[in-house]
Amino acid sequence: MPITKAIIPVAGWGTRRLPITKIIEKSMLPVGNRPLVDYSVQELIKAGVTDIYMVISNVEPCQVREFYKDNIALNQYLEARGKTDRLKLAKTLPDNVKIHYISQDPSAKYGTAVPVAMVAEEYNLNEPVFVFFGDDFIWNPGGESAAESLLKSVQSPDESAILGVEVPREEVVKYGMIDVKDGKLTKIVEKPELKDVTSNLVHVSKYIMSPKLIAEMVEYVNSHDFGPKDQEYMATDPLATFVEKGGIVRVAPTTGEYLDGGSLEGWVHANDVVCDNK
């Protein structure tokens, strides 16, 4: 089943990574020679995505937008110096792929469901879409990407999918635990207590969302009015409701390694892993 659209939220201040995120957007922190978000962008493109909806902060300049633009001055410099072999490296987006940018006010509604609802309403999405967040990725060189694993798991446009990653039982408390039966999601619990852990499978916010699941996200965001210090609009809440109503969410396994640039320790580890494999 081909899926040609993807949502990638990259807005927010990246407060866990201060002070560096005062001047570098979290999704643009380098892992090897590429920014964090580009690992997801490139694997989605390889999986057939041609339209990417990136939710950015409403601050300027926007480094993500600049990275995916053609840099005419740089191209002219490379050509003048006879370094035309590097033009391919400077071109960060194929001609057949378009990124649509949607600004999100950092002081408005907050949480992982909000950018999905924003894009769905603004672009009237009525087809399955990938939803990947911009500060982590699955590293699996030579193997199946997260996008490919998700695609293989769904059997119709009415089905959704979530990526499952196995972690040691004691680490489940740091993530969202997922229970599975017959390859389908039955329960999702954000950061459970260790005594309540029933599965060592966790989710890492990588999805295929069907039109019905997207509609559930929109309904959830629009029907609640959490204040800035109240509950976040978490995507896992409408996801759980969707499953309770009988919606099918396949759980796609992965043999790759989950790398998270959102924390300093995770970012250092991601660089160690990627650079060791060069």
DSSP string, 112-146: THHHHHHHHHHHT--S-EEEE-TTEEEE-TTS--H
* Check whether domain 5-276 has CATH 3.40.50.10070, yes or no: no
pLDDT digits (tens, 9 = 90+) for 151-160: 999 999 999 9
**184, two tokens:** 């389908």
pLDDT digits (tens, 9 = 90+) for 53-63: 999 988 888 99
46 touches 145 (CB < 8 A)? yes
Q: Does 174 score more than 90 pLDDT?
A: no
Find all residues with CB under 8 Å of 202, minimum gap 6, and list them: 164, 165, 166, 167, 171, 172, 175, 176, 177, 178
Q: Does 95 score more than 80 pLDDT?
A: yes
Q: How confident is the model at residue 1 (pLDDT cuts 50, 70, 90)?
A: confident
**How far apart, in whole angstroms, are the C-alpha atoms of residue 111 and residue 230?**
11
Domain limits of the chain? 5-276
The rounded percent of the chain whose pLDDT value lies above 90 is: 80
Q: Which residue in 242, 229, 215, 237 sits closest to 109, CA to CA? A: 229
Please state the rounded mean pLDDT for residues 65-85. Answer: 95
pLDDT digits (tens, 9 = 90+) for 205-259: 899 999 999 999 999 999 988 876 778 899 999 999 999 999 999 999 998 999 9
220 touches 113 (CB < 8 A)? yes
pTM exceeding 0.75: yes
Distances (CA, A) of 255 to 80, 142, 261, 269: 44, 11, 19, 18
Q: Does 278 score more than 70 pLDDT?
A: no
**How far apart, in whole angstroms, are the C-alpha atoms of residue 57 and residue 26?**
11
Per DSSP, the three-state class of 202 is: strand
Rounded mean pLDDT of the chain?
93
pLDDT digits (tens, 9 = 90+) for 7-45: 999 998 888 899 999 999 999 999 999 999 999 999 999
